[in-house]
Structure 1
Amino acid sequence: MHSTPRRMRRGCAAVAAASLLLAPALAGSAYAAPSAQGQNVFAAPVPPPSPDGSAEFRQLTPAVAAQLDAAIREVMRETKVPGVVAGLWAPGKGSYVKAFGVADKETGAPMKTDVHQRIGSETKTFTVTALLRLVDQGKLGLDDPIGKYINGVPNGDRITLRELAGMRSGLFNYSEDDDFDKALESGPNRVFTPQQLLDYSFKHPVQFAPGEKFEYSNTNLILLGLVIEKVTGRPLHDVIRQDVLEPAGLRHTVFPTDAAFPEPHAQGYTDESVSGEIVNATDWNPSWAWAAGAMISDLQDLRSWARTLATGTLLTPKTQAERLKTVTIGIPGAGYGLGIFDIQGWLGHNGSLPGYEVLAVYLPQAQATMVLLLNTDVLHDGQEPSTLFGEAVTRIVTPGHVYPGHKPSPPKHD
């Protein structure tokens, strides 16, 4: 399978390497498995935070920081990840913010904590939030069929917006199409339109009946982006900027309309599909990911966003409750809601696309946030490197909530 589009397929959620994006498009590229019975199983609501989080998150003492340093460096050695930025914050427990390795392998420039980062499938959290704000405004309903807004969608009279946001539509993932692979690999700077992406999907039969099971598909987010544009009458990047980023107070997060990449940023490294050679993907155009994975952010904005996303600051309590109803994805302690996952109590998303990976999650019980930025998306033994770092960090600071809690198996399409 070609490496370039594989990233967004994998990219959904970190545990996703087990058949998840959740491998996100955690470039959010994503593969996810249904429950054993193939039914929709909803998890209980997230428990309220403990009074002081004392049982949930270790004090970030110098000794614990030294453990984190050693664990991160060990994973870097094992995975050969060039550079990592790690951030941990918890009220009353302190903070840990540190950069490791290099931002540029040619010059040896060090990784820094203020880099901008392509965030892959973390974009999905912003797109779905924009959709849910329209729900709160009464401009659309989660159980509206997609056919009400977009013509020509297979099963369009049956697939709901809720099923699209929750990855239960049954629509084929365009980034798994062979012709898409070839088109993207022939020119990583090529500009794709949303309709072109849908065309790659719609030539395939639907994979299952709407709502039958969970299966990560970037096609779902392209459709939701088009719904947002139709209902608002504005381009998606404007809606996200005005209706999500500005209200959330995020000043270093952008939805690019080209390959522009704000400074400072690290160089991003991916593996070439045929030879396996490591290549620089920094300036590849993310148009092929659009509403599913094109955005850019930084450490502090992702820190803020992880909390906003998990606590529902921009939504009504009713709509946030709908968002957090998760469907099991075949992995113990893991579920997916509406553009958000719950992995061992950590709420958020991961992201992966050529050259970069992120993980931005929030643990309500401890009011704690973890953000990881990597300047590569090259798998290690079939696993997302961001997942390996997340596991190493949480084994130290939240042993009761280890992310993702098990060793995932390689993606089935890799």
Structure 2
Amino acid sequence: MGSHPITRAAVDDAVRYADRWLAFRQRATRVPGVQAAVWFDGELVLSTAHGVADEASGEALTAAHRFRIASHSKTMTATVLAQMVEEGHLRLDDPVGTRLDWLHDSDSPVADLTLFQLLAHAGGIPRDSASSAHWQHEAPFLDADTLAERVLAEGTVTGADVRFKYSNIGYALLGQVIEAVTGRSWAEEVQERILDPLRLADTGPDWTPDVDGPWATGHTGLAWADRRVPIDQVPTNAMAAATGVWSTAADLCTYMAAHLPGDERLLTDASKRRLQRPVQQVEGVPDGGYGLGFITSRIAGRSGVGHNGGWAGHITSTVALPEDGLVVSVLTNAIDGPAPELVEGIIRLVDAAAAPVDGPVDDARARVPEGRYAWLWGVRDVAVLGGRAYLLSPTVPNPVAATVRLEPDADDPDRWVMVEGPGYASVGEAVTVERDADGRVEALDMSGTRIVPIDRAVLPDRVTAPGS
């Protein structure tokens, strides 16, 4: 838990603004669409979408559109294996070779790797095999026979327990273990053990052409081209346990809420702690760790668990804060979508709204002119978080990085003083409200700079010199 508890009032304030912030970030980052959901206190408190599901058709994105959530699949594979451990069918220290006959009969070093090592990406085996053309749609994803051939031919590359060595191949092997032990497909086990009990109607183990939509079209990025093109969907075959699942942000929040303490629909709390405890440090990621199938993180001083998903055309992220009971999920439909950044931004807004207030809380929302304002230099938002009024900058990825707190003038309801903020802000100066004859906000005077409601802002053909 962070330095202050998260309350329902704080979450309500945060998501009220977060929806507006997401709409701006979707446009500012030029990603086609953003779908998001937030879970707190036993229910969804936000389920929203902005932008388009398909750039070519202009179809609006909704909260019901489905996305490929890629490596979120690893959390489900880990969950099924943990259930099988609880049932006595497996042990985490079982060598994978004792569960797969074709591997047991070989001299491959992979045979000696334990299920624990594969779950933790500690086995040292290749990430995607020597040929990962499937990630560019240049070849199908590996089937079971091809997977076995690649594993036997390539073995390990770093040795076990040397470093965090992320591996989709390792999780594909874990899917094969589930099938070998149960005699059923990985997809059937996930459906019956996770999706059906949680009633996740908008989630499935892998894409096939007969799966109904609506689907969010995946799009290419803008890193080396000035336009986006659509990317077709493909099945992941024997790689589904690593990257096959599709879902919505709302379903992902419901799923991750079942991994919060006290909810034992899927796993005991002891099993959840085992999966969520970091056992690997991820090089190059500050505060980044990995448990067994779950990414671990620290955001705004709070411990998070979840996963990101990188699919050709969909970038997704879900983080749960087990100590706080909060889950945030964001899905984007472009290969350069900023989903992890947006998840972190929402969590930071919640944290800011939950911060304690010195003295009585003024009814800021009844007085402050909440909204979005524009001027030559950019955009400012006025919003209420935790009962306090703020100026925020939606143009930066961290929505609370440059916040300025506003304190009401006791004698003038349309005057506020900037009392806290960054060193380069106009702290100590005033923000005053200009109103028309009907009392509507015409503009704000922000320490001498006039900013207007964004729906009234007009971009001229040219910004001319004064008097010209």
**1:170, CA displacement in angstroms?**
0.5
- 2:205 corresponds to: 255
Among 372, 382, 405, the residue aligned to 2:330: 372
Superposition map of 1:7-406 within 5 A: 53-54=6-7, 58-61=10-13, 64-65=14-15, 67-91=17-41, 95-150=45-100, 151=103, 152=106, 154-174=108-128, 177=130, 179-181=131-133, 185=136, 187=138, 190=140, 192-204=142-154, 206-256=156-206, 258-271=208-221, 278-287=228-237, 289-311=239-261, 313=264, 314-327=266-279, 328-330=281-283, 331-344=285-298, 345-378=303-336, 385-399=338-352
What is the identity, as a one-letter code, of the residue corresponding to 2:74? K
Task: Output one character per residue of 1:258-308: Cα deviation in whole Å (capped at 9) or x when no partner.
Answer: 344421122111249997863312423333632101111223321110111
Q: Which secondary structure state, in structure 1, belongs to the residue aligned with residue 110 of structure 2?
A: coil
Task: Output one character per residue of 1:305-330: Cα deviation in whole Å (capped at 9) or x when no partner.
Answer: 01113446212333223212212223
Q: Which has the higher contact order (CA 8 A, sep 6+)?
A: 1
What is the identity, as a one-letter code, of the residue corresponding to 1:165? L
Contact 1:72 1:392 in 2 (8 A): no
What is the identity, as a one-letter code, of the residue corresponding to 1:295? V
- Tell me the TM-score normalized by structure 2: 0.66
- 2:362 corresponds to: none
Q: 1:219 to 1:285 in 2, by over 3 A?
A: same
Q: Which secondary structure state, in structure 2, belongs to the residue aligned with residue 174 of structure 1?
A: coil
Task: Output the CA distance in 2 between the equivalents of 1:92 and 1:316.
Answer: 18
Q: Which secondary structure state, in structure 1, belongs to the residue aligned with residue 293 of structure 2?
A: coil
What is the identity, as a one-letter code, of the residue corresponding to 2:127? N
The total of aligned residue pairs comes to 346
Task: Output the CA distance in 2 between the equivalents of 1:281 and 1:219.
Answer: 23
Which of the two has greater helix per residue? 1
Q: 1:232 to 1:272 in 2, by over 3 A?
A: farther
Q: 1:212 to 1:133 in 2, by over 3 A?
A: same
Contact 1:342 1:348 in 2 (8 A): yes
Which one has a bigger Cα radius of gyration?
A: 2
**1:162, CA displacement in angstroms?**
0.5
Task: Output the CA distance in 2 between the equivalents of 1:77 and 1:404.
Answer: 16
- 1:35 corresponds to: none
Q: 1:252 to 1:96 in 2, by over 3 A?
A: closer
Task: Output the CA distance in 1 between the equivalents of 2:62 and 2:22.
Answer: 15
Task: Output the CA distance in 2 between the equivalents of 1:372 and 1:76.
Answer: 11
Contact 2:125 2:169 in 1 (8 A): yes
Identity %: 26
- 1:381 corresponds to: none
Q: 1:184 to 1:67 in 2, by over 3 A?
A: closer
Structure 2, gaps ≥5 residues long: 356-396, 400-468
**1:404, CA displacement in angstroms?**
11
Q: More deviation in 103-112 or 200-209?
A: 200-209
Q: 1:273 to 1:94 in 2, by over 3 A?
A: closer
Task: Output the CA distance in 2 between the equivalents of 1:270 and 1:335.
Answer: 29
Task: Output the CA distance in 2 between the equivalents of 1:242 and 1:332.
Answer: 37
Q: Which secondary structure state, in structure 2, belongs to the residue aligned with residue 290 of structure 1?
A: helix
Task: Output the CA distance in 2 between the equivalents of 1:203 and 1:274.
Answer: 35
Contact 2:143 2:239 in 1 (8 A): no
**1:227, CA displacement in angstroms?**
0.4
Q: Which secondary structure state, in structure 2, belongs to the residue aligned with residue 132 of structure 1?
A: helix
Contact 2:141 2:239 in 1 (8 A): no
Contact 1:71 1:392 in 2 (8 A): no
What is the identity, as a one-letter code, of the residue corresponding to 1:387? P
Q: 1:317 to 1:225 in 2, by over 3 A?
A: same
- Tell me the TM-score normalized by structure 1: 0.74
Structure 1, gaps ≥5 residues long: 1-46, 379-383, 406-414
